Structures are given as C-alpha cells and as structure tokens.
Amino acid sequence: MEIYLYTALFSPLVGSLITALFGASRKTYFTGILASGLLFASFVSSLILLTYVMAGHTVHVEMMTWIATGDLYIPFGFVVDQVSVTMMMVVTTVSTVVHIYSIGYMSHDKGFNRFFSYLSAFVFSMMVLVMSDNFLGLFIGWEGVGLCSWLLIGFWYHKESATWAANEAFIMNRIADLAMLIGIFMIYWNLGSLQYDVVFAHISSLPMPIITWIGIFLFIGAMGKSAQFPLHTWLADAMEGPTPVSALIHAATMVTAGVYLVVRANPIYSEIPDVGNAIASLGAFVAMFAATMALVNRDMKRIIAYSTLSQLGYMFVAAGLGAYWVALFHLMAHAFFKALLFLGAGNVMHAMHDELDPFKMGGLKTSMKWTWILMTLASVALAGIYPLAGFFSKDLILEVAFVEQHYILYTVLLLTAGMTAFYSFRLVALIFHGDKRHLEHGIHPHEAYTFMLYAMAPLAILAVIAGMVFKTPYYQMVTQLLPAVQYHIHNHTTFWIMTIGTQLFVILAIAYAYKKYAKAVKVDKKVESGFFYQLLYNQYYIPKIYDEVFSKPYLQLSKLAWKQIDLRIVDATVDGIANIIYQTGEKTHTMQDGNLSSMLRWMVIGVVVLLVLAVAFTAGYNAVNLRAM
C-alpha cells in the first residue's frame, strides 16, 4: 500500500517539476496533459487507498528522518487514515477535474506551462498538508499551499490588482500562521512531540488553560487559512486569480484546510468545549455575515467567494459543536458543488470576455445550455434542495445545532440558508435568464470547449449523488477515527416540520430570486442608496477600516523607518565604514611608491611594531601570572 501512498503524494510534485522546466518556453499542450495525467494517477492511488481504508486498515509510513536534534525527533511521516483519505479524495478529484478544465480555460494564456507547474505544486503541498502525521509536516504543507496560493492569485502579475490581492492573501495568512506556529510550539513545549498520535494520547494530561491556549492558537491559524472573520478580506480579493484557481484553491481545498485542522485536532478541541462554542459562534456569524455581503454584490466571482466563506462558517459551526464528521462531510460535498459553480462561472467569464458583472449578462441559457444546467445544478446543491449533496450535509449542520440546543445558532444558520438560496439564484437568474443585456456591449457568447464540459461532469454527478450515496459508507468509515455521534431529532413531528419547513423556506427564497431577477432587472435607486445596501455593498466597510487602521499607519511607519532610520543610521554607518576604508587607502597608498629603500624602511617599522607588541604582551602575561602565583 505504501507505493500507492507515495504515488498519490509525489506524482503532483513530479508533474510540477517537469512542467516547471517548460515554464519559460512557449505554450505546449503536453505540459497540461502531463500534469493532468499525473494527477489522475494520484487520484487512482487515492482511490485504491480509499478502498483499503474502507476495509478498516490505515497506512502509516515514515519516509525518512527529518529533524533529529536532542529530544526533538520529527520524521517525514505520512498517514493515510479515515480523515486524511477523505481529504485526499476531495483534493485529487477536484484537482484532476480542474487540471483538465484548465487545459481549455488557459489555452489562450501565455503562462500556460507556468500555470500547470504552480497548480501541481499546490496539489502536492495540499497532499503533504493532509497526509502528514505530525503538526510540523502539516505546517510545511500549510505554508506550501500558502505560497502556491500567492503564486496563483498573482498569476497575472502584470495586473496591479492581482499582485495586490496576492500580497494581501499572503500577509493575512502570515499573521494567522504565526499564531499557529505558537500553538505548535506550545504543543511541543508541553508534550515533547509533534506526532498526532502521541499528542492526542497525552493532551488530556495537560492543565486546562494550556489546552485552551493551544486550541485558540491553532484555531487562529485555521481562521487565516479559512478566511474567517476578521481575516476574511483576502478571500474575496483572491478572485483576481484565474478561475480554475478559485475553484481549486479558494473554494474546494486550501480554504478548507482550517476545517481539516480542527477536525484533525478533534481530541484537543473535545477537551475544550468552550472554545468549541466560540468557534461555532464565530462560524455562524461568518456564515451570516458573508451571506449578507453576497446578497448585493455585483461581481460574479466575489458572490461565489462570499458563498464559500459562508459555507466555511457552516463547517466551523459543525466542528465547533463537536460534530467533526459532519464538518468533514460538508467540506467534501461543498468542494464538489462549489468547484462546479466556479468552473461554470469560468465558462461564463470566457463567453463574456472576462466581464464579471452579472447585471451586464442575461439570457445566456440559450447560447450556453450546458453551463446553465451545470451551474443551476450546483446552485441547487448549494441551496440544499433534496436530494442533492447540500441537503444532506448542510441540513445536517442545522440539525446538529438544533440537537445540541443552540437555538440561536440554528436560527442564524436557517436564515443564512435562505440567503444562500437567494443569492445563488439571483446569480443564476441574472446570468442565464432575462434580457440579453450583453448584446449592448457587443459580446456574442459561445459555449466552452466540449471537453471542459465533460471535465465538469464528474463534479456535477458528485454534487448530485454525494449526499445520498456517500453518507452512510462515509459515516461508517470516518467514525472509526472521529467521535461517532448520530444527530437525530427524536421527535418525528419536529423532524418533519423542520425538514419540510427548511425546504419550503429555501424554495421560497429561490422563487423570490427568480421573480425579482429572471425577467427584467429593475434597479431600485431608493434601496441602493439606503444605508444597509451601501453597508453590505461596501463589505461592511471592513477593507476600508483595515486600510485606515493598519495599512496607512504602517505606510507612515515604514516611511519614517526608511527616511530616518535606514537612510540616516543604517546607510550612514555602512557608508561611513566604506569611507573610512576608502580614505585610509587614499592616505596610505603613498607607502606603495615602488621604492625599495622606503619599503625596507617600512619593513623595519613593522618589525619594531611587532617587537613592541611582543614585549608588551609578554610583560602583561608575566604580570598576570606572577600575581597569580
């Protein structure tokens, strides 16, 4: 089984390195096909590992020693257990689809080869993250995906906004990663090991405050990667990257790494239910918060990004309430339909010549029939309509909140579910129904390449069946590792009222979205100039506040440091040293006059100086020694 583990882990790396060789050369389809093929190999290996794990085994290998100093021993160890194999399946499935899709999507881009190199490198980092058997390996993968995310958001580096967004994402993640590193240090400091099994076996022996702090610091790390409030602004800006990147990294895999961390560290969080409640509350808040921003936004990709943010909030609610398997299940289901949604958006963008404002589209269902069907399917799944994936995973989270008697969380999530349905179908209605507003802009849309649609098909199938078919086997598999808690509402009447009520609420929201946007779009000036609309449209003014509170003072500080400290002190010191040497040379080069006689004289002076030193040191040495005697 180890060979499959290594294949799954390293074939993306091989693909990345080989395509990197062609990074600077002209576009060649070979790179895309190679990278996709290697990822498919990784996918197949993961599938084999999945069947193996389903049979009740786990694979744990120690590839080599990595750090061994004193008491610190950290191997390059990898583990394939019920949790990591789930993540591996999600990562390899989505990334294989995205790779194949990208061959079409990026076919007109000059950086085609470079793109595949980055994308495969990302998948490798992500595999390291999910497969590592210790916290430090996880951290390396964590940083690796951060780096690849930076590279890919800033892929079109000639665009000012793209580089800005890339840097923003990177810096925000750094802040969170510092906290995570502190958490890891605390684990090592207190337990002397970073191996998951050792840490989790002994975590309960630690005093309560320390576990709490470890949990908090690790969660701050997760907050950065999963873009939870207040570190959420980078995710929407990250949409500057190519759309396949948004689908793979900023919807399906990397941003869910935070959820994975909490799920993976469930023995820690089980010890500290208070922190868990805080996580759940924050998750619910972010779910609502992001959904409200998505209601009014006018950028197709940003709407989907806020929806991702909102769904991550759901996952954290589940994870915070101890329903780790539910969180992981929603993570998986969400990965499928959200990636599908993004890829559909990519098709629309191609057809619309990179136009992102859905108010300038409309009526695309005639020219882009398949994209319409796929995106509608994804939106239905996202809204959580029976029997698609979202119903099983998202409604389960609502049930968890209800069963755990967090009724406020439940209400918030229910409202958010309505909003989710509304904004998803607002988007679908604006893009695919109504008047062909794009004709005014002289755009004639066309359907994407057929193979891109075929590439999206697996995701569509998964988005439909993931909940229905996978739920039971998934539950049986993953609860061998995670706490097995069934969330059932025992009162049948309540259960049916809730389920049907939720469905009705969601369907009503969808119907309202269609009614409002599917025909003619009426712009209501009064509403748009209202306070709430402006507040939401400007993302609660948070980017502006960050700019005022952090960026501008920091700029001032940097300027001060540059003008006062760097130029006046550091540069002056360096220049001074250089000047002293230069002046000394200038003054003493007359010594080298080429006259042997004066050279002899200098030689004698040197001899005398050395003799003086010898006498002085001998005298000093004797003086000290004699006193000692």
Partner 1 sequence: MELTLNHYLVLSAVLFAIGLIGVMRRKNLLMLFFATEILLNAVNVGMAAISHYRGDYTGQMFAFFIIAIAASEVAVGLGLLIVWYKRTGKIDLDQMTSMRG
Partner 2 sequence: MFEAVAFYLFAALTIVMFTITVMTSQALYALTAMAAGMIFISAFFFILGADFLGAIQIIVYTGAVMALYAFGMMFFDTTRNVIEKRNNPRFVVILGGLAAVLVVLIVLAPIVTTDLNAHYPIDTSVGNSQAIGMVLFTKYLVPFEVAAVMLLVAMIAGIVLAGKKMDKSLTLMADEEIALMHALSHDTTEEKGGH
Nearer to partner 2, 175 or 616 (CB): 616
Give the residue with the Cβ less far from partner 2, 484 or 607: 607
Residue 615's binding partner out of partner 1, partner 2, none, with CB under 5 to 8 Å set by partner kind? partner 2
From the list partner 2, partner 1, none, pick the one residue 504 interacts with, judged by a Cβ distance below 5 to 8 Å according to partner type.
Answer: none
Q: Which position has the token pair 């180890």? A: 2
Provide φ and ψ at 83, rounded to 5°.
Answer: -75, -50
- Output 72 or 612, the one with its CB closest to partner 1: 612
| Cβ-based nearer residue to partner 2, 51 or 622 | 622
**Binding-site partner at residue 593 among partner 1, partner 2, none, CB < 5 to 8 Å by type:** partner 1
Contacting residues for 424 by C-beta, under 8 A, at least 6 apart: 307, 379, 382, 383, 510, 513
The interface region with partner 1, picked from 76-84, 265-273, 303-311, 595-603 by CB under 8 A, is 595-603
Residues 327/482, Cβ–Cβ less than 8 Å: no
Contact assessment for residue 283 and residue 256, using Cβ atoms and an 8 Å cutoff: no
Q: Shortest approach of partner 2 to residue 588 CB, angstroms? A: 18
597 near partner 1, judged by CB under 8 A: yes
Q: Which does 201 bind (CB under 5 to 8 A by kind): partner 2, partner 1, none?
A: none
Question: Where does residue 484 fall: left (phi above 0), alpha (psi -120 to 50 degrees), or beta otherwise?
Answer: beta
Shortest distance, position 593 Cβ to partner 2, whole Å: 13
How far is the C-alpha of 9 from the C-alpha of 17, rounded, in Å?
14
**Residue 592 binds to partner 1 (criterion: CB under 8 A):** yes
Nearer to partner 1, 55 or 596 (CB): 596
Q: Does 624 bind partner 1 (CB under 8 A)?
A: no
Nearer Cβ to partner 2, position 529 or 595?
A: 595
Both tokens assigned to 8: 């799954």
Task: Please state, in angstroms and rounded to a whole number, the distance separating the CA atoms of residues 409 and 417.
Answer: 12
Q: How far is the CB of 599 from partner 1 (least distance, A)?
A: 8
β-bridge pairing 59-69 and 72-80: antiparallel
- Residues forming the site for partner 2 (CB under 8 A): 601, 604-605, 607-608, 611-612, 614-615, 618, 622
What is the closest distance, in whole angstroms, from the C-beta atom of residue 240 to partner 1 in the complex?
59
What are the respective helix, strand and coil percentages of the chain, to the nearest 5? Answer: 80, 5, 20
When CB distances are held under 5 to 8 angstroms depending on the partner's kind, the choice from partner 1, partner 2, none that residue 614 binds is partner 2
Per CB under 8 A, does 629 bind partner 1? no
Residues in binding contact with partner 1, number by CB under 8 A: 10
- Of 156-164, 170-178, 373-381, 587-595, which part binds partner 1 (CB under 8 A)? 587-595
From 247-255, 412-420, 511-519, 590-598, give the range in contact with partner 1 by CB under 8 A.
Answer: 590-598
Nearer to partner 2 (CB atom), residue 581 or residue 614:
614
CB of 592: closest distance to partner 2 in angstroms? Answer: 18
CA distance 311 to 258: 13
* Contacts with 569 (C-beta within 8 Å, 6 or more apart), sequence order: none
Minimum gap (Å) between residue 627 Cβ and partner 2: 15
Beta-bridge mates of residue 73: 68
SS3 74: strand
Residue spans of beta strands (DSSP E) within 335-427: none
Residue 592 interacting partner from partner 1, partner 2, none (CB closer than 5 to 8 Å by kind): partner 1
From the list partner 2, partner 1, none, partner contacted by residue 600 (C-beta under 5 to 8 A by kind) = partner 1
| Interaction partner, residue 408 (partner 1, partner 2, none; CB < 5-8 Å by kind) | none
Structure tokens belonging to residue 139 = 């951290």
CA-based end-to-end distance of the chain = 74
The interface with partner 1 within residues 599-618 (CB under 8 A) comprises: 599-601, 604
Distance of closest approach, residue 604 Cβ to partner 2, in angstroms: 6
Print the binding letters for residues 287-306 with partner 1: x by CB under 8 A, - otherwise.
--------------------
Query: What does the DSSP assignment read for 429-477?
Result: HHHHSS--GGGGGT----PPPHHHHHHHHHHHHHHHHHHHHHHHHHHHH
Among 26, 595, 626, 627, binds partner 1 (CB under 8 A): 595
Least Å from the CB of residue 628 to partner 2: 14
Q: Which listed option, partner 2, partner 1, none, makes contact with residue 534 (CB within 5 to 8 Å by class)? A: none
In 333-398 the beta strands, taken as DSSP E runs, fall at none
Given partner 1, partner 2, none, residue 175, with its beta carbon under 5 to 8 Å by kind, binds none
Instruction: Give whichever of 592 and 618 is closer to partner 2, judged by the CB atom.
Output: 618
Contact with partner 1 (CB under 8 A): which of 55, 486, 594, 625?
Answer: 594
Least distance CB 579 / partner 1 (angstroms): 22
Rg (CA), the chain: 30
Rounded to whole angstroms, the Cα distance separating 88 from 83 reads: 9
Identity of the residue, 439 or 607, whose beta carbon is nearer to partner 2 in the bound complex? 607
Contacts of 90 (CB under 8 A, 6+ apart): 252, 253, 256, 331, 332, 335, 336
Range in contact with partner 1 (rule: CB under 8 A) among 176-184, 335-343, 494-502, 592-600: 592-600
HEC string of 555-606? HHHHHHHHHHHHHHHHHHHHHHHHHHHHHHHHHHHHHCCCCHHHHHHHHHHH
Stretch that binds partner 1, among 92-100, 248-256, 292-300, 593-601 (CB under 8 A): 593-601
Query: Per CB under 8 A, does 585 bind partner 1?
Result: no
Q: Which of 62, 197, 586, 593 binds partner 1 (CB under 8 A)?
A: 593
| 392: Cβ contacts below 8 Å, ≥ 6 apart | 329, 333, 466, 467, 468, 471
Alpha carbon distance 306, 265 (integer Å): 26
Residue-wise burial string across 258-291, b where 16 or more C-beta atoms lie within 10 A, e elsewhere: bbbbbbbbbbbbbbbeebbbebbbbbbbbbbbbb
- Which of 52, 98, 56 has the alpha carbon at shortest distance from 452? 98
Nearest distance in Å: CB 22, partner 2: 55
Instruction: Select the binding partner of residue 611 from partner 2, partner 1, none (C-beta < 5 to 8 A, by kind).
Output: partner 2
Indicate the residue among 570 and 623 with the shorter CB distance to partner 2: 623
Which of partner 1, partner 2, none has residue 595 at its interface (CB below 5 to 8 Å by kind)?
partner 1
- By the 8 A CB rule, do 38 and 99 touch? no
Strands (DSSP E) along 195-273, which ranges? none
CB of 598 to partner 2, least distance (A): 9
Which residues lie near partner 1 (CB under 8 A)?
592-597, 599-601, 604
